[in-house]
């Protein structure tokens, strides 16, 4: 029941809370703003809830995304996309998240207005389960 609630929460977040607005700064870089209603894991970073400005810079074989928190205490993050694919102009701009026992993880950032979808590393469920079992076993051994 808890995982269904987390999944529904991620879907609602993805469909209604994110509002991407293109930046006119440069034709080579993509950018905009979005709102996270809850903390998410984005590769190795834990990104707290809040309003963010993002910029995507093509940088050789992988695209780099920078996030800057606009609300509350300023924070910045830099992540490298693991893969970049072309997106269809009819797609919606959104963050695609997956739910794991340790929280929500950003899997994709779809930016059809810039013709790109960025993919990010997400731990597999089997790895999460193995870590959970190892922690439980170590706690029981004490």
61 in a structural domain: yes
- Predicted pLDDT of residue 77: 94
d(CA 100, CA 62): 26
60 in a structural domain: yes
142 in a structural domain: no
Q: How many separate domains does the chain show?
A: 1
- Check: CB of residue 19 under 8 Å from CB of residue 26: no
- Domain, as residue range, for 24: 2-136
The rounded mean pLDDT for the chain is 75
d(CA 77, CA 67): 5
- Predicted pLDDT of residue 39: 94
Question: What percent of the chain clears pLDDT 70, i.e. is strictly above it?
Answer: 68
**What does pTM read for this prediction?**
0.65
d(CA 73, CA 7): 28
141 in a structural domain: no
31 in a structural domain: yes
14 in a structural domain: yes
pLDDT digits (tens, 9 = 90+) for 31-52: 999 999 999 999 989 999 999 9
């Amino acid at each position: 029941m808890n995982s269904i609630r987390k999944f529904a929460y991620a879907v609602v977040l993805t469909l209604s809370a994110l509002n991407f607005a293109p930046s006119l700064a440069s034709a080579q870089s993509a950018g905009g703003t979005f709102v996270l209603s809850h903390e998410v894991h984005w590769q190795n970073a834990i990104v707290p809830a809040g309003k963010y400005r993002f910029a995507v810079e093509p940088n050789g074989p992988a695209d780099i995304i920078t996030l800057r928190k606009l609300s509350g205490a300023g924070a910045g993050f830099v992540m490298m996309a693991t893969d970049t694919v072309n997106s269809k102009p009819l797609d919606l701009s959104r963050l695609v998240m997956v739910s794991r026992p340790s929280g929500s993880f950003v899997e994709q950032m779809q930016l059809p207005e810039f013709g790109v979808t960025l993919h990010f590393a997400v731990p597999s469920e089997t790895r999460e389960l193995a870590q959970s079992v190892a922690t439980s076993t170590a706690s029981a051994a004490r």
